[in-house]
Every structure is written in C-alpha cells, then in structure tokens.
Amino acid sequence: MVKSLIALLSTTAASVAIAADPTATTASAKEIILNQKTVAELALSQGYQTKQVNLQYQTYRLAVAQVLSTYDWNVAAATGYQYDKSVSLLNIGNAELDNKLQQYQTTISLQKPFTSGTLLGVELSRLSQQADLDPASPFTAPDNQTADLAGITLEQSLWGNFFGNADRATVNAANYNYDAQSILRANDLENVVLDAIRQYWTTYTAQENFKEAITSRDRYKKLVDAVKRKTSLGYSNPGDLPQAQAEFETREQAVKTASTDYLNNLTTLVTQLNLDPNADIKFMPTTLLPPVPKLPPKNVEDLRAIRSQKLKVSAAKESLDASKSLSYPTLNLVGKAYTSGWGENSRDSYSQLTSGDKPKYYIGLRFAYHFGSDVQNEDVVNKKINKDLEETRLSLQTLQATDAQTQAERRVQETYAVALSAEKQKSFREKAAQELNRSYAQGRTDISILITAMNNFVAAEVAYIQAVGNYHIALNEWASTRDELIPDTSSENR
C-alpha cells in the first residue's frame, strides 16, 4: 500500500515519503489485506492490548485463592533432642547431685478450619527419655522411658461468626467480586476492538486524503499549464497565473503533510494489531451504506455491566453480614479427647496408647472480646456505606446504560444521514468543478471561482470517506452498548 502510493508522487515528494518509511521499497514484503472484520479478528487474536486485558483478569484469581487459603489444611511437625542437666525436682535440696536427662521429642499436628466456624485438629506426640540419675538421688526412675499422646480437638464458634456466618459471607463476597470482574472482561475486549476499528478508519481516511492530495496536485499542475498557454496567447486575466501557481504550491504542501499523516497512522495501526512492520498493508473497506438496522429493545438488566454491578452489590451485602457477625464477642465451644501410653520402650508405650486405657477429656467454653477503639462498629458502618455506594452505582449505571443505547442509536441514524448527504454533495461538487473548468477554458469564469470549486470537490471526496467510516464506527459502538460486538462466553461464568 505504501509502495503503490509513494510511486504516484513526484521525485521530491517520493524521497520524503521513503525517508519516513525506509521499508517501503522492500520488494519481498508480505502483503496483508485489511478490512473491518479482519481488523477486529487481528486485534482479538494477536493485539498486545488484548493480551494485556487477558493477563490483567488472570491476576484477579489471587484474591479468591487468598480468602480460601484460610481454610487450608495445616500440617506441622517438630522434632528435637534435649540434654538436661539443670536443677530440677530430681535434685532439689541437693544441688550437688549429678542427674542427666536426654530427651527426644516429636510432635505432629493436623488442623483444618471449615466455613461452618469449626476448627478440627489431630495431634500425635512422642517423648523418649534416657535418664542417668545420681546414685545419691532420692528419686528412682527407669533409665529409658517413652510416653505417647494422641488426641483430637474440636472448636466451634457459638457467638461472633455464629456457626461460620462470617466465614461463608467472606467467601461469597470474594466469589461475587471475582465473577463481577470476569464479566467485564468482554467489555474491555470490546473497547480494544472499537479502538482498532477507529484506527483502521482513521488510517484509511488518511490514505484516501493522501491520494486525493496527489490527484488534486495533478489537477492544479494541469491548470497551471493551461493558464500558461492562455497567458502566452494573451487570453488570461491579470493575476491568473500567479494564483494558479500559488495554489499548486499549496497542493504540494498538502501532499507532504498528508503523506506524513498517513504513514504515522499506518504505523500506529500496525503496532496496535501487532503486524509485521515490513508488511505491505492494503485496505479493502466497504464503501456501501447499509440501512440502519431495526433492532429489538435490549433489556438493560441483561447487560454485562449491570450484571457485574449487581454482583458487586451482592458482595458488599455479604461483606456487611460478615462484619456484623464478627462485631460480637467470640464464644467458642472447645472439646478435646486424648489417649496416652507409657512404657520403658516404644512398643509398650504404643500398645497402651492404642488400648485407650489412659484417656483424657476436656470440654469447655472460650470467651474473648476486644474493646476500647470501637473498631468493630466502625467496620460495620464502613461496610454499610460501601453497600449503599454500590447500590447507588447500580442505579446510576442502569440509567446510563439506557441513555447510552439511545444515544448510540441516534448517532447511527445521524451518521447514516450525513453519509448519504455527503455522497450527494460529492457528486454535486464534482459536477460543479467540471462545469466551471469548461467555463474557465472558455474565458467565462474567474480563476478564483474555479479554484474554490476544485478545493470544495477535494474536500467533499475526503468528507464522504470520513462519513462512511463514521457510520460504520457508529454501528459498532451501538452493538457495543448492547453487548453484541463480542458475545458472552462461558469463561465469564465460573
């Protein structure tokens, strides 16, 4: 595309354009044909903005995982050796006694919190001791002993997070927030597609403006030549030739400006679609003007933005429920059951442990309450304000979504009417320029009138192309307000 356009320039203009794009003369460049459909597909399949959106939404998964990590299994193990020659009950009253204890202790525990407000735990421990007591010690004990302990613990919330009310509400809030964010992914991708389509039409318009600048310059070159002939024959009016020559220089400037504008827009489009910078880009846009489609009303409640905001409202309500539940004092039911064993060796200790002859049980209540800063009540107030804020946003977004659809439809109707009018205007401008050109050749029209008509014709041609692009952009924007540019996908729902 760049090569074919630059070939139309004069030697001076061509050197400027090639300097702006050194790859324009690459003969083996890959050809890429773009239209509105392929631009949308390329933006979604390989554009960096699409990759950025997808990666951004992947980061939202961590928040849910962090909440659920509270209910992970927790296993802990500790083992160690202790050498004890300190003063103890074994040598109290006679510090000169030389008692030595060597102990090996191993403990393994497993805990699992549940969203029912329950904490379940299992614990196993073994203590092996080798004693070297002073013969003068009044205490006697076997040289080797092993004690085993196994137990299960259960803790249940009774007040403050009553049977897991706060836990479940916190998990639900995290899931609602994640789902709300995931729904909006398609909307962000729609914005990526719309940006690419806008850039496509901007670049195409810049290309056509460049072509028209070249064509206009050639027209004025012919006009200058014609005026020179009339001047040599004495038929031209005073000032005709300088006016024509000045306008020709204006066209020369317009060519250089349009060339730079087109190349800059083309570079932006290539980057946006992640295309090969050396590719030969060709545009195949549709210049047809399909009539404004008749679409049934779209229920705003079904729009992704509204569904997302409803989930945010639900998340805020769950967070408020969790805050209220946690504002009460903590009262937990605690139960423990252990069995133990003892022996001069590990086998005897384990046998007694498994027999259950030496049990230990505990049941009770554990109470805790923090006070002084009133942070619990402030947190409840904060969560209620946040809930009211999300509900207000929902009401506002519902109204804005209705307005956006109405305004987008009006924009489509307006751009369609403007495009039809621009098509007629281009035809009239062309006819006027042709008639005035013949009239000037016959000496019946002032050259300034002809120049104005020619300039108006060039502007009308560019305006028509811009109007067609605006209409197609408006159609896509209307589809976007109805969530129909990119349909819902199963990945939005977990």
pLDDT band for position 136 (50/70/90)? low
Average pLDDT, the chain: 85
Whether 209 shows a pLDDT value over 50: the answer reads yes
**Residue 451 banded pLDDT, cuts 50, 70, 90:** confident
Residue 154 structure tokens: 């259960």
Position 97 scores a pLDDT of 59
Lowest mean pLDDT among 10-24, 84-98, 414-428: 10-24
Q: How many CB atoms lie within 10 A of CB 66?
A: 10
pLDDT score at 189: 94
Is the pLDDT score of 1 beyond 80? no
CB 89, CB 133: distance < 8 Å? no
User: Is the separation of the CB atoms in 273 and 46 below 8 Å?
Assistant: yes
| pLDDT of the residue at 426 | 92
Whether residue 36 is predicted with pLDDT greater than 70 in this model: the reply is yes
Share above pLDDT 90 across residues of the chain, in percent, rounded to a whole number: 59
* Confidence at 231, pLDDT banded by 50, 70, 90: confident
Query: Which of 17-26, 91-100, 429-438 has the highest average model confidence (pLDDT)?
Result: 429-438
Q: Is the pLDDT of residue 117 over 90?
A: yes
Map out the domains of the chain as residue ranges.
Answer: 2-62+181-309+389-492, 75-158+336-368
Q: For residue 156, list its beta bridge partners.
A: 118, 333
| pLDDT value of residue 492 | 47
Joined together, the tokens standing for residue 482 give 């109805």
Q: Is 316 helix (H, G, I), strand (E, B) or coil?
A: helix
Q: Model's pTM, two decimal places?
A: 0.79
d(CA 61, CA 477) in angstroms, rounded, equals 30
Contacts made by residues 14-20, CB under 8 angstroms, sequence distance 24+? 16/256, 16/259, 16/260, 17/259, 17/263, 20/259, 20/260, 20/263
What is the tens place of the pLDDT at every residue in 397-446? 999 999 999 999 999 999 999 999 999 999 999 999 898 888 877 778 88
Average pLDDT over residues 454-481: 90
Q: Which CATH architecture has domain 2-62+181-309+389-492?
A: Up-down Bundle (1.20)
235 pLDDT band, cuts 50/70/90, is: confident
Q: Which structure tokens are listed for 185? A: 């992914």
The confidence band for 245, taking pLDDT boundaries of 50, 70 and 90, is confident
Place of tokens 């300034």: 448
Q: Between residues 29 and 152, which one has the greater pLDDT?
A: 152
